[in-house]
């Protein structure tokens, strides 16, 4: 453990389409774009996250379908 943060592997578009639920948390969505959690939350706060973000109660979620569309444009 020792204070080192484990790096998450970037999922493939095929993995996202096949296994992700309709909405994911911001940290999970950040891995798909290859960005840090803090960068993702910064973009969400500025309404600049590259996929559709929705608030459910106190949670911020990213719509997987919009994430797939955004990644499809990138590839």
In this structure, whether the domain defined by 14-74 belongs to CATH 1.10.10 is answered with yes
pTM score:
0.84
4: Cβ contacts below 8 Å, ≥ 6 apart: none
Taking residues 6-11, what's their average pLDDT?
A: 75
Closest CA to 22 of 70, 71, 67, 59: 67
Q: In the beta sheet, which residues pair with residue 56?
A: 59
User: By C-alpha distance, which of 71, 54, 55, 72 is closest to 63?
Assistant: 54
Higher per-residue confidence, 63 vs 56: 63
CB within 8 A of 43, min separation 6: which ones?
35, 49, 50
């Amino acid at each position: 453990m020792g204070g080192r943060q484990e790096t998450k592997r970037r999922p493939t578009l095929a993995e996202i389409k096949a296994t992700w639920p309709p909405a994911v948390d911001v940290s999970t969505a950040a891995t798909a774009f290859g960005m840090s959690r803090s960068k993702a939350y910064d973009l969400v706060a500025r309404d600049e996250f590259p996929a559709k973000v929705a608030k459910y109660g106190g949670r911020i979620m990213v719509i997987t379908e919009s994430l797939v569309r955004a990644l499809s444009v990138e590839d």
